[in-house]
Amino acid sequence: MNPISLEAIAGDLRYLQLLSRSFPTIADASTEIINLEAILNLPKGTEHFLTDIHGEYEAFQHVLKNASGAVKRKVNEIFGNTLRESEKKEICTLIYYPEEKLQLVKAREKDLDDWYLITLNQLVKVCQNVSSKYTRSKVRKSLPAEFSYIIQELLHESTVEPNKHAYINVVISTIISTKRADDFIIAMCNLIQRLTIDSLHIVGDIFDRGPGAHIIMDTLCNYHNFDIQWGNHDILWMGAASGNTSCMANVIRMSMRYGNLATLEDGYGINLLPLATFAMDTYADDPCTIFAPKMNFADATYNEKTLRLIMQMHKAITVIQFKLEADIINRRPEFNMGNRKLLEKIDFERGVFVYEGKEYEMRDTYFPTIDPADPYRLTEEERELVDKIQYSFMNSEKLKKHMRCLFTYGGMYLVCNSNLLYHASMPLNADGSFKHVTIRGKEYWGKKLLDKIDQLIRTAYFDEGGEEEQQFAMDYIWYMWCGPDAPSFDKDKMATFERYFIADKSLHKETKGYYYTLRDEEEVCDRILKEFEVSGLHTHIINGHVPVKTIKGEQPMKAGGKLLVIDGGFSKAYQPETGIAGYTLVYHSHGMQLVQHEPFQSAQEAIEEGQDIKSTTFVIEFNSQRMMVKDTDKGQELVTQIHDLKKLLVAYRTGLIKEKV
């Protein structure tokens, strides 16, 4: 780096004076420079990428615990052939589920103290390995307070030295004799999980379909370092939490469609009793057969009476949704979605759907709440019900907490370490150029479009920007769910009405935007990466949203490896189509690995039988030289900090700033 001139220091004097508050002496500034220079030469931390989790909390938590096989890989590296495969499996299961595994071990082990001694020594070795790429300071901050000193002693002492070997054995023996072994093992296992992954990227769609989105959000809110790129299902929930009743209706409809009431009722305390009462009265004589929950497992979860009620509620909220959406479409002609007002195309007398001059047979013709003369008008009972649903959503404290987490740690996209992350699409024209999308009379495309949408979603929730701007933002957040030019959707239509009511599948087709075919071309991916100023030797776009149908020969790597689609079917609803249970991505100091997972059975099987998720790892890129922190975005930040601290040193030594001794 070039010598620092006094002119450069004089120009930054106000900033350097602020910096001097944190580093008041030459010794303080020098120590920090030494510390930061050392960090630059540590191996890059491991990044973990997941997408399209869709409420499958057990599979999510297991993949988080095993770090997509990274823990197993570490255990194999450390113990190699010195342990049998069954013994290594036991260690891994203990690391993933320490509390539960300990209960099983204590029930079967005859010499528990001996097991404690062996296991603690093994865990210390694993912990030493996973902590080796961090500074002692960072490791110390990750330690549980009650065992901080002991763990530090064990991590930083070598068992090879005879004197230290005896010392460590005494420490471990004392932990056992004082009856703290269980708590200590749990603390060590949690620390291994914590240190194996440095940062977690969720590339969208935490919500809908599966039963535990709220559990996933609880896990994320307490995770040490993560970010979220909002998916269309996340944005739908954000719209519901902002007060958009159309988004609320969609959220409830999706829950009914997949037989999943747990997230709404147990997770967020949304009161569905008014909907149940209304549905039972309104559709008492209606079999509602086409509204049966989609998932097969729902049939096993609910009895016949409950299933019947879910079907009635499902139909009730679906009809209400179409009415509410028509209100937005009428209010926002600029959305160009008039063709999605479909209730008016029903010939109620003859029970047929008339579309573009052709008649289609309807699967259901019973609509007691629809006035053919004014099909989108809510009845008094429906209006009252919508008000109650809105009140329930707006007053859920748990939902507010999780939304704050989504807004604090989330956004439409992220550029990180030469990777561009966004959930779904980038609107493109047929020639691969960026599609210009008009929002409030102004055109946006590429990065500017995603930035504008990010701002609108925040405006809708935080009620900023004036009444007119906020109302538009509130409507636009619904458009993000199903609008043709919405990057989170990017199809010509969302055929919800057709899929429910029209038997002819020709009307079910949703035509995807050009992005979904053009993303196979390296030139198009390069153009997108350039638009977002992504640079580096190896650059990638990382998407989710569209499940990769491995069963049909589809591949997650596209455009010569420039683009990676890592949605392979976390959601059980997708697994028959994909043939697998999802992809995850691991990016560590040696390179990038794509991990293909088989369906996860249950946490119970994982604990009792050591059944890990069966995974296949593909090496996408292997670095000939290990990546260091200095090669990352964080490294560039640290280089800048070092430069500023060196300026501060010169300012101290030339008397421009006085030390605060």
Give 340's Cβ-side CA count (13 Å radius).
27
For tokens 């404690």, the residue is 116
Q: Find, among 387, 421, 114, the residue nearest to 271 by Cα.
A: 387
Q: What is the largest CA-CA distance in the chain?
A: 93
589-609 as b/e, with b when 16 or more CB fall inside 10 Å? Answer: bbbbbbbbbebbeebeebbee
What is the spatial distance between Cα 51 and Cα 543, in angstroms, rounded to a whole number?
8
Token pair 């996209």 is found at: 413
- Look at strands 437-439 and 557-558 and give their pairing: unpaired
CA 12/CA 644 separation, integer angstroms = 9
What does each C-alpha distance from 659 to 372, 495, 640 come to in angstroms?
A: 81, 69, 22
Strand-pair partners of 359? 354
pLDDT for the residue numbered 156: 78
Please name the residues in contact with 240: beta carbons below 8 A apart, sequence gap of 6 or more: 247, 248, 250, 251, 393
pLDDT of residue 123: 93
What predicted TM-score, i.e. pTM, was given to this entire model? 0.91
- pLDDT attached to residue 298: 44
Task: Quote the tokens at residue 81.
Answer: 């052939």
Residue 360 tokens read as 């289609």
Report the distance separating Cα 392 and Cα 42, nearest Å: 50
Neighbours of 34 (CB within 10 A): 11
CA distance 58 to 52: 14
CA-CA distances (angstroms) from residue 648 to 22, 30, 374, 654?
11, 10, 72, 10
Torsion of Cα atoms, 245 then 486 then 262 then 96, to 10°: -150
Cα-Cα-Cα-Cα torsion 558, 561, 563, 569, nearest 10 degrees, comes to 70
Q: What is the number of helices (H) and of strands (E) in the chain?
A: 29, 17
Sole residue written with tokens 């009722």: 265
Q: What's the average pLDDT block by block, 10 residues per block, for the chain (661 residues)?
A: 72 89 94 93 92 90 86 90 89 92 90 91 91 86 86 74 72 89 92 92 93 95 95 98 98 95 95 97 95 66 89 98 98 96 95 94 96 97 98 97 97 96 96 97 97 97 85 97 96 96 95 95 96 91 81 78 80 56 83 77 64 60 84 94 93 90 77
With beta carbons less than 8 A apart as the criterion, state whether 32 and 23 touch. yes
State residue 115's pLDDT score: 93
Q: H/E element holding 359?
A: strand 358-361
Which of helix, strand or coil describes residue 229? Answer: strand
